[in-house]
Structure 1
Amino acid sequence: MSILLPADLRSDAGFRHESPVGPLEIVPLDPERDAALVQGWLADPRSAFWQMGDLDVDSVREYFAGVVADPHQDAWLGLRDGRPAFLVETYDPARILLVDVHDARPGDLGMHLLVAPPTTERTHRLTSAVMAAVVAFCFDARGATRIVVEPDVRNAAIARKNAEVGFRIVGEIDLPGKRASLAVLDADDRRAAQLAAAAASASGGADGAAAARPGGDLVSSGAPHLAPEPMTAAQRHLVAKAIAEFTHERLLAPIALTDPDADGLARYRLTTAGSDYVFTARRHALEHWAIQEATLERTVDGVPAALDAQELVLELQGELGIPDALLATYLEEIASTLASAAFKLTRDPSPAAELALAGFQAIEAGMTEGHPGFVANNGRIGFGLDEFGAFAPESGADVHLVWLAVRRSLSHLALGDGLSETSLYDGELGPDLVAEFSRRLRELGLDPAEYRWLPAHPWQWQHRIAVTFAPDVARRDLVPVGTSRDAYRAQQSIRTFFNTTRPERAYVKTALAIQNMGFLRGLSPAYMRHTPAINDWVAELVGTDPTLQAARFVVLREQASIGYTGDVYHRTAAPSAHRKMVAALWRESPLPRIGGGERLATMAALLHRDPSGASLATALVRASGIPADEWVRSYLDAYLRPVVHTLLAHDLAFMPHGENVILVLDGHVVRRVFMKDIGEEVAVLTDRALPPQIERIRQPVDAAERALAIFTDVFDGVLRHLAAILDGDGTLREARFWQLVAECIDRHASEHPDLDPAVDLRAERFAHSCLNRLQLRNTLQMVDLADQSASLLYAGTMANPIARRGGGTGAVGRASRVE
């Protein structure tokens, strides 16, 4: 609902403030006129912290009539372009709400703010502009000498906005329905915040326009995620995850202090070189630990101490086996992971119930965890503050790729079936932009026929290509010709971009020479030369298999790859990461392949919890309206059954982790999936015949190791996390979850009795392959991509939760609350 207020209420009778989003006005709220409008705002899930979502229009009218009639409080309506955009309450904290819990001073003014939930796209920096306007209103129009606020301690988004304008937290207090952070803002605080913002803005260039630069919103606000409150929450989460995952990999062994209660919860202690950690946790199948983060406490010499993930790593260096020469690199990845987590906490994350109903890219940007198993999973070493704000997936920022003309004789272009060079560029750039790029080459005296077009990440152009390949640019072997007209969004895999302007166009995967999760994220031109052929072969195999067709299982082909090889680094005796810095590939978009009523979500979303602890998986189950076991059965049929079939019927293993699988939802239920990242991560695990051009994907191993393609990558990498989430939410008992997994495996076996029985997915135990151990051993390169099998590290064996007998089934029964 949007109304335009009468002119007499929009200017003369109100307070006016000039802002970066245009003039903002604050006028008295009229309960009769505004009740229906405000009730709609309050009923939105994003307004949950106001605790008024259950009020009807009459109740809202009655409430604000009481506020307006009270001489100690007032209600105000904020306008943007003459239309209601926010709600403000002001009150005397000596008489309202904070009596006996706040030492009020003369001139104190309490304030509440609600920015209207967006009905379409959010306006960039609107909330920051509104907050500044309301602060000016309180000081300049209401005569306050100090403003007092008391947001819920869980409301990280408003904490960020309060910090931007200078509020200081002075303590926590208990108020009706919430634990609150009591914060104050006086004139000195306000002036200091304004000076800091002005200095940060001025450092960005002559025009001082920070918002016009990549990440300008972060700089102008002084990087509010780098503040005690969000960092404390990030530290607590990462320390809990580190203890859980390092224990899962048998690097640590917490000691039980109590027996498990009826819910399977017990108290544990972990003693390190310098600290004691005590926490409550539930143990699940596959040695999965679900630690209740709020219960985690650290003491040093018996004195309570702050949780600190880097300190934990230092204390555990011996147990973790990190080489001295690589310890600092791992600590840097931990620091960057903490910064990423704090940033996400201050980005006004959507509640899980809301995210479950959101679109594909909103879900992609809404993820907060990264890889569920790795502890240091958001390294991004090389990104500065501006780049983090501009290019991190959680920023949700539009990116325009840099396009280079690369000399044809010094590059290669590989194309998949049905694609030509002309159709590739016309389809992804459009004939007009191709003509414009060609014109720019001719203006330089160059012949466009001698060049190809290569997309580059803006960071890569700025920090690598323009520096590390400066002679190549000067020789005109690499020529920057412009930026994309289409806008793209970084995906969770960070170097892959989704086209938001033309979603039917391909993903673009770019080389990105930053260190992230044990790898420099480059792309090898030599390695990618056969990528389209590999994808065509896999797509044909999938497309002609009746079982996979019945499951509507689809691979998203990497249709084209391009790489530049004319640099000096390709002529050195030893290979190096420098050979992987100027390359890209194009992957099919899933959008043209979905029908009406279907929508998409990354499978990583199933493991997502919002800051309040609510899970997206449970939100989807509830939204579907079907029993949880039926929902899980549909998901397993769509995801598990096809990857089992490709392994057993074709000796073909994918890397089916959360970010490599796109779920197709219909009625909030997973009905089918798309598999991606084929060229780099697919493998044929036997000596079966292969076309010569795809021979590099052959990695023959014995039957026990072939089974690890399911045990490690699916059971341990995905399903143990999902089972624990659903069990912890009370959505589906863990024992029932693994029973459904066993039924899925057995159903496939009964339908395909002719398949090789050597790969036994219901064996009693399997080798415990450990991911963090790989990263801890070598933080610069976890595995040799040419021989991944030889790179693996094991920690004995684990009980199979779907074993036919013995340890597996028994372990599930003891670890979960079996009905």
Structure 2
Amino acid sequence: MSRSLTSRITIEPLDLSRDVELLHAWVTHPRSAFWMMQDASLDDVRTEYAAIAADPHHDAFLGRIGGRPAFLVETYDPAHATGMGDLPELRPGDLGMHVLVAPPEGAPVPGLTTAVFDAVMAFCFADPAVERVVVEPDVRNHAIRAKNLAAGFTELREIPLPGKTAMLSVCPRADWNAPELVRLPDPPGAVVPDEKHRPGADLGAFRQGLPSSEHLTPELMARAQRHLVAKALSEFSHERMIAPVAEPGRPGRWRVETDRSSYTFAARVKRLEHWVIDADSVERTVDGEPREPDAQELVAELAPVLGIPDSLLPTYLEEIASTLASHAWKLRHRAVPVAELVDADYQEIESAMTEGHPAFVANNGRIGFGLDDYTAFAPETGAAVRLHWVAARRSLTHLSLGADQTEQALYDAELAPAVRDRFRARLGALGLAADDYLFLPVHPWQWRNKLAITFAPDVARRDLVHLGEGDDEHRPQQSIRTFFNASRPERHYVKTALAIQNMGFVRGLSPKYMEATPAINDWVASLVHADEELQACGFEVLRELAAIGYTGDAFHRLAGTSPYRKMIAALWRESPVPRTPAGEQLTTMAALLHRDADGDALVTAWIKASPVDAATWVAAYLRAYLRPLVHCLYAYDLAFMPHGENLLLRLRDHVPVGAFMKDIGEEIAVMGELDLPEEAERVRGSFPDDVKALAIHTDVLDGVLRHVAAILDEDGILPEDEFWAIARQAIEQHAADHPELAEAAARYDLLRERFRHSCLNRLQLRNTLQMVDISDQAESLIFAGTLANPVSPVAP
């Protein structure tokens, strides 16, 4: 049996309104004869499990594998069970257990029953008060009796019970044959009960009993440390916070000195002062003695020159630690060779990304996530997530819709009728009118850690009503708070508020700020769809077509703003799947910067798999990416935030043929006098002329293309000078094709000899809690002189 099977088992309280038809099919199946409900009607099953739900000594749970319903669990107090209360063999600390594995839909999966049984036993022993698990299978059920014995049960004697002769069997905690596959599971964890787990179960002890920290080994952490130290030395050098000096007599080696350590390493310095440092070559000495590289110690030693405020240094070190832990986890669990990604689908590629933002050193902070949260919700784990939903009182909630949207159409598209009926029934059971509420999706972590705690008064007032999980499985994207619908890929992305600290921000969503989001997206989409140049380049946008936010809390009644105003909101963005032609592959542009654990680059593999040479491939990529962005700047003074996570590429025969731009509402700027709808006016900004061109110089050339160029040069696929010549030709060809935009081209002067060096890590290091003021981002920028422009015709 594969470890990946056991790693995706979850157990949650049974929801009879949702699960009764499923249970009926299971318990009446011929394979479930020992469950003694072969002739039960749907109403019989409903009555039986309603009685269990009402019984304080009996509980029922639904088990899933990979998010799909797969088994039923019942636990009970044997002292209160019919026919068992007077048995002399029973003791305090006994817990009874039944388990039913769903009849297979196709061929049986080898090892599935064993995996389920092991997970259920772990679930039972999660409660430290449980000393023994008690079972009483039918004496004729030899298969389950064998499973019991293998797990560590001892058969005591036959006992008469209603409808059967049973074999009373017990398994003390000390006798439980807990297998490796349960004690050391792959994430997202072998069993993670819902917050409404069985009364008396200690959830913390349960999770501690199933540790998933096997990635935190000296060997994997040493690799993660070397990787992050090399990246820190590279990016801090690029931003001119440190200045490596050449090692005398050691060609190709460089040295950086701190107040107590010396670092030497092999590196190549490429265009845009991009340092390619070999992680394995990094050598560190402290007081002349060799020491292993340590990213936290490097940052602490460099803190005076990095400009980190003393009060924020511990926070940044925590983000460094989390980034290291994430990298170690990926080395342990996500070592996917690029050969397997060349033809992979969109979400396989998304979950295989290992680096995070290419420039930020602390790029996987995620402060607020515990280890169980990481394995459940980090995009690289590939775990299925079911979003929770709350009903938010309509009078205290604002729903903004795109021009072609209605509330009814939105919910029709996103929630199946049965789900909406379930939600409305929940409200009705509380004596609430469903029409007085709007449905709002929330991140599971956000519900457990914020809404149910920080907003407890709102829940108690029924201004917010927890409705439970939706039915669809979602996959978290690289941006971590955005989800792709894996059950129904044609349905919208859902972007949720998430009150964790990550890469310089608390990842909330402001209801007030998002009110205009659909209108802004409508305007941008209409502009892009009507532009012949952009259409010819295959450039499209994915609209954020609905946004919702609750403002009835105490924090919105205060005069000042705070992150607490950004905790209950969501938006829906179009899915790219219905708009991707058949035969095309969809990928995050971040994949162009991806190297696997062996150092092989995905962009190199795509070029080799394509029918064209590297220069032609790069020209096609820049036509889909660079040229549309240049055109938007020249024609409309419109700038996007086009980093790897914000852009999806379409590939045909492994060659780029188009792109989807996303994250429109928060990350565009109009830098001129273009007419805007009143609702979209907030995206207009006033910027100095030398800052406007940074929409290409910093965000595209320095932010993305310097990394792609370096990879292709290092891999011997395309020399970097040729890469940059192709980029220059893309800009020049656009100008030749659009003489009507000559004035704008001259004003932006993208081919100038040098441009201002805007630095990202400097921003994060200055304020790790709020990197920039989103309402005035230009004023937040930090510059470090100028950079030689690699697309300038003037040789550097």
1:85-137 Cα distance to aligned partner (Å, 9 max, x none): xxxxxxxxxxxxxxxxxxxxxxxxxxxxxxxxxxx99x9999x989x9xxxxx
Aligned to 1:245: 235
Aligned to 1:292: 278
Question: How far is 1:573 from its partner?
Answer: 1.3
How do residues 214-253 of structure 1 correspond to structure 2 at under 5 angstroms? 220-253=210-243
Which residue identity lines up with residue 674 of structure 1 in the other structure?
F
* Partners of 1:769 and 1:794 within 8 A in 2: yes
Structure 2 CA distance for partners of 1:752 and 1:207, relative to 1, 3 Å: closer
Q: How does 1:121-270 map to 2 (within 5 A)?
A: 220-257=210-247, 266-270=252-256
The AA in structure 1 aligned to 2:219 is E
Q: Deviations over 1:682-723 (max 9, x none)?
A: 110123322111111011213321110000000000000000
* Counterpart residue number, 1:638: 624
The residue type paired with residue 490 of structure 2 is E
Preserved CA contact (<8 Å) 2:261 2:285: yes
Structure 2 match to 1:433: 419
Task: Identify if the C-alpha distance between structure 1 residues 20 and 562 changes in structure 2 by more than 3 Å, giving closer, same or farther.
Answer: closer
- The answer (yes or no) to whether the contact 2:6–2:190 under 8 Å persists in 1 is no
Q: Which residue of 1 aligns with 2:761?
A: 772
**SS of residue matched to 1:606:** helix
Equivalent position to 1:367, from 353, 356, 362: 353
Q: Are residue 787 (structure 1) and residue 776 (structure 2) matched?
A: yes
Distance 1:125 1:280, change over 3 A: farther
Q: What is the CA distance between 1:650 and its match in structure 2?
A: 0.4
* Cα gap change, 1:335 to 1:470, in 2 (>3 Å): same
Secondary structure in 2 aligned to 1:612? coil
Report the CA distance shift for 1:20/1:629 in structure 2 as closer, same or farther (over 3 A). Answer: closer
Q: Could you say if the C-alpha distance between residues 339 and 401 of structure 1 is closer, same or farther in structure 2, counting changes exceeding 3 Å?
A: same
What residue number does 1:442 align with? 428
The amino acid that maps onto 1:236 is R
Structure 2 counterpart of 1:514, from 500, 505, 525: 500
Q: Which amino acid aligns with 1:800?
A: N
In the alignment, is the contact (CA less than 8 A) between 1:412 and 1:563 conserved in 2? yes
Aligned to 1:618: 604
Asked whether the 8 Å contact 2:343–2:585 carries over to 1, the reply is no
For 1:163-562, list aligned pairs within 5 A: 220-257=210-247, 266-562=252-548
Aligned residue among 664, 668, 679 for 1:682:
668
**TM-fit CA distance, 1:447:** 0.2
What is the distance in 1 between the residues matched to 2:447 and 2:517?
24
Shift of residue 302, structure 1, vs aligned partner: 1.6
Question: Equivalent of 1:798, from 781, 787, 796?
Answer: 787
Work out the CA distance in 2 between the residues paired with 1:284 and 1:665.
28
1:314 Cα offset (Å): 0.7
Contact kept, 8 Å, 1:655 with 1:713, in 2: the verdict is yes
Aligned positions of 1:662-681 closer than 5 A? 662-681=648-667
Query: Using a 3 Å threshold, how does the CA distance of structure 1 residues 220 and 707 change in structure 2: closer, same or farther?
Result: same
Give the 5 Å matches for 1:63-142.
none
Distance 1:596 1:352 in 2: 23
Contact 1:557 1:676 in 2 (8 A): yes
* Pairwise CA distance, 1:306: 1.1
CA distance in 2, matches of 1:440, 1:666: 47
Asked if structure 2 preserves the Cα contact closer than 8 Å seen for 1:524 and 1:581, the reply is yes
Opposite residue 600 of structure 2, the aligned amino acid is A
Question: Cα RMSD between the aligned structures?
Answer: 3.1
- C-alpha displacement of 1:749: 0.7
Q: Which amino acid aligns with 2:618?
A: V
Q: Tell whether the 8 Å contact from 2:182 to 2:210 is kept in structure 1 after alignment.
A: no
Q: TM-score, with normalisation over the residues of structure 2?
A: 0.75
d(CA) in 2 for partners of 1:558, 1:680: 10
Distance 1:664 1:390, change over 3 A: same
Which residue in the other structure is 1:762 paired with?
A: 751
| CA apart distance, 1:464 | 0.3
**SS in structure 2 at match of 1:345:** helix
- Relative distance call for 1:375 and 1:215 in structure 2 (3 A) is farther
Equivalent position of 2:593 in the other structure: 607
Mapped to 2, the partners of 1:330 and 1:446 lie a distance apart of 46
Provide the secondary structure at the position in 1 that maps to 2:625.
Answer: helix
- Cα 1:509–1:259, aligned 2, differ >3 Å: closer, same or farther? farther
Q: Which moved more, 1:672-681 or 1:747-756?
A: 747-756
The DSSP-based 3-state class of the residue aligned with 2:600 is coil
**Partner Cα distance (2:396, 2:425) in 1:** 21
Q: Find the counterpart in structure 1 of residue 633 from structure 2.
A: 647
Report the alpha carbon displacement of residue 348 of structure 1 after superposing the two structures with TM.
4.0
Partners of 1:213 and 1:568 in 2: CA distance: 30
Q: How many residues get paired?
A: 630
Q: Would the aligned equivalents of 1:218 and 1:385 in 2 still touch at CA under 8 Å?
A: no
Which position in structure 2 is the counterpart of 1:712?
A: 698
Structure 2 gaps, min length 5: 8-105, 119-176
- The one-letter code of the counterpart of 1:313 is V
Aligned to 1:722: 708
Inter-CA distance 586–743: structure 2 relative to 1 (3 Å threshold): same
Q: Secondary structure at the match of 1:350?
A: coil
Partner of 1:816: none
Q: TM-score if structure 1 supplies the norm length?
A: 0.73
2:574 is the counterpart of 1:588:
yes
Give yes or no for contact 1:201–1:208 (8 Å, CA) kept in 2: no
Q: Point out where structure 1 has 5 or more consecutive residues left out of the alignment.
A: 1-15, 23-119, 133-189, 811-819
For the structure 1 residues 437 and 737, does the alpha-carbon distance in structure 2 shift closer, same or farther, using more than 3 Å as the test? same
Is the deviation greater in 680-689 or in 393-402?
680-689
Secondary structure of the residue aligned to 1:243 is helix
The 1-side partners of 2:650 and 2:624 are apart by 9
Q: Is the 8 A contact 1:218 1:389 kept in 2?
A: no
Aligned-residue offset at 1:307: 1.0
Tell me, in whole angstroms, the C-alpha distance in 2 between the residues paired with 1:494 and 1:430.
25
User: What secondary structure, in the 3-state scheme, does the structure 1 residue paired with 2:384 have?
Assistant: coil
Query: Displacement of 1:202 after TM fit?
Result: 11
- Rounded to whole Å, the distance in 1 between the matches of 2:275 and 2:420 is 54
Distance change in 2, residues 1:595/1:219 (3 Å) = farther
Change (3 A) 1:592 1:201: closer
Match of 2:557 in 1: 571
